[in-house]
Amino acid sequence: MTEITITSPLDMHLHLRQGDMLRLTTPLSADFFAGGVIMPNLIEPVDSVDRLNTYHSEIQALCKDKVFEPYMTLFFKQYKKAELEQVKDRIIGIKLYPAGITTQSENGVSDFTTIEETVSAMEELQIPLLVHGESNGFVMDREQEFLSVYQTLAENFPDLHIIMEHITTADSVEFMERYDNVSATVTLHHLMITLDDVIGDLMRPDLFCKPIAKTQEDRSALRNAVFSGHPKLMFGSDSAPHPRHKKECIGCAAGVFTAPVALPLLAQIFDEAGSLDQLQNFVSTSACQRYQLTPPQKTIRLQQKPWTVPDFYGDVTPFYAGKTIGWSVVRT
Ligand code: DOR
Ligand code: ZN
């Protein structure tokens, strides 16, 4: 049976949520990954040292018997340099959301001319800037329209590490390549689906997310770059669970819950592309190099043995629910 071993897989973009949802999601990531970049878009955003410490302790308590490093982020707002100095060693970066662009981003940035002072302090202190890069234009053009903001940031702050989160378009891949200080994360679902899968047949709330899945050409550009082992592309699942009543309703919340299926499905699609030798790079090495991380040592064995994804984890429908994946994690 074909088997591969991955050392210290990392999920560089992860929503764990709070309360019961946090208790459900944390082990599903912490069992498989050596670390994850924890998103700060809680109902009350993680935008102070106190909230950061509380949230970090809650996560730590849920993975105390596991090898898993929660890499914490702060929610972008205007911070003074002194505040950032105080918190710098406890975060991996600061996540910027344009106001109202996605789940719980109401407190995000509505005027990009106001961010300069904070971003400049981040550059000085070498705190990475993680960005949800979408405008509020036509839904299929939002990522493209945001590239001018990325360009201004990349050029004005050449020593700032900017991470374009969950890129979905060929243009974003091309843009990312042009600037040394820019990296990007790519999700599993954007490597697998296009808009057709979301709304081309029966409408699929479980596949609805922000940014919305794009065209076949866009997906091909992402796949080509990822499967060829691009050194600036990192795996970030953007696993974003919502309870069924928030998905199966009028006003469906954006988010695809991929954490429990991420590594087996990545193995499957890398294998199908003849690129299994690049999986380690995508799920760990690129991130370690770009963020200069030394993650906890953890070994995950994946084997070509089919398993069927449950219909639900708690009250959440996972990506690939009820379908069979050709690869599974070897439980030790
Ligand atoms: O689909 C998404 N869901 N995109 C995001 O940017 C946020 C996330 C969430 O928090 O649900
Ligand atoms: Zn996200």
Tokens 């088997």 sit on residue: 3
Is residue 331 in a domain? no
How many residues belong to the chain?
Answer: 332
For the segment 178-190, the average pLDDT, to the nearest whole number, is 99
Among 210, 237, 316, residue to substitute to test ligand 1 (most atoms within 8 Å of Cβ)? 210
Structure tokens at 310: 């449950």
How confident is residue 217, by pLDDT bands cut at 50, 70 and 90?
Answer: very high
Q: Do 57 and 75 contact (CB within 8 A), yes or no?
A: no
Residues 6+ apart with CB under 8 A from 37: 10, 11, 12, 13, 14, 71, 73, 92, 93, 130, 236
For the segment 311-315, the average pLDDT, to the nearest whole number, is 98
Please tell me the residue having the least CA distance from ligand 1 atom 10.
Answer: 103
- Residue 18 pLDDT > 90: yes
Write out pLDDT tens, residues 227-267. Answer: 999 999 999 999 999 999 999 999 999 999 999 999 999 99
For the segment 28-34, the average pLDDT, to the nearest whole number, is 98
- The single residue of 50, 159, 238, 315 carrying the catalytic annotation is 238
Would residue 89 show up in a list of annotated catalytic residues for this protein?
Answer: no
- Residue 103 pLDDT > 90: no
What is the span of the domain harbouring residue 49?
A: 10-296
Give the closest residue to 75 by CA, choosing from 48, 102, 95, 104.
95
- Residue 219 pLDDT > 90: yes
- Residue 61 pLDDT > 80: yes
Which ligand places an atom closest to the C-alpha of 18? 1
Is residue 215 in a domain? yes
How confident is residue 65, by pLDDT bands cut at 50, 70 and 90?
Answer: very high
The total domain count for the chain is 1
Please tell me the residue having the least CA distance from ligand 1 atom 2.
Answer: 255
Handedness of CA 303, 309, 310, 313 (dihedral sign): positive
Eight-state DSSP code of residue 283: I
Instruction: Pick the more confident residue, 105 or 218.
Output: 218
Is residue 321 in a domain? no
Give the pairing of strands 324-325 and 3-7. unpaired
Residue type for position 33: F
Which pLDDT score is estimated for 1?
80
Give the residues surrounding ligand 1 with Cβ less than 6 Å away.
15, 41, 102-103, 132, 209-210, 238, 240, 254-255
Which pLDDT score is estimated for 332?
75
Is residue 2 in a domain? no
For the segment 297-314, the average pLDDT, to the nearest whole number, is 98
Percent of the chain clearing pLDDT 90 (strictly above): 97
Is residue 219 in a domain? yes
- Residue 313 pLDDT > 90: yes
Residue type for position 260: P
CB neighbour burial string for 34-48, b if at least 16 within 10 angstroms, e if fewer: bbbbbbbbbeebbbb
Is residue 224 in a domain? yes
Q: Do 14 and 259 contact (CB within 8 A), yes or no?
A: yes
DSSP 37-102: EE----SS---SHHHHHHHHHHHHHHTTTS--EEEEEEEPS---HHHHHHHGGG-SEEEE-BTTSS
For the segment 186-200, the average pLDDT, to the nearest whole number, is 98
Is residue 3 in a domain? no
d(CA 282, CA 148): 27
How confident is residue 102, by pLDDT bands cut at 50, 70 and 90?
Answer: confident
d(CA 322, CA 310): 6
For the segment 62-69, the average pLDDT, to the nearest whole number, is 96
For the segment 284-306, the average pLDDT, to the nearest whole number, is 98
d(CA 168, CA 139): 12
> Which CATH number fits the domain that encloses residue 121?
3.20.20.140
- Residue 82 pLDDT > 80: yes
Whole-angstrom Cα Rg for the chain: 18
For the segment 65-81, the average pLDDT, to the nearest whole number, is 97
Is residue 305 in a domain? no
Q: Phi and psi for 75 in degrees, rounded to 5?
A: -80, 130
d(CA 207, CA 256): 6
Write out pLDDT tens, residues 111-168. Answer: 999 999 999 999 999 999 999 999 999 999 999 999 999 999 999 999 999 999 999 9
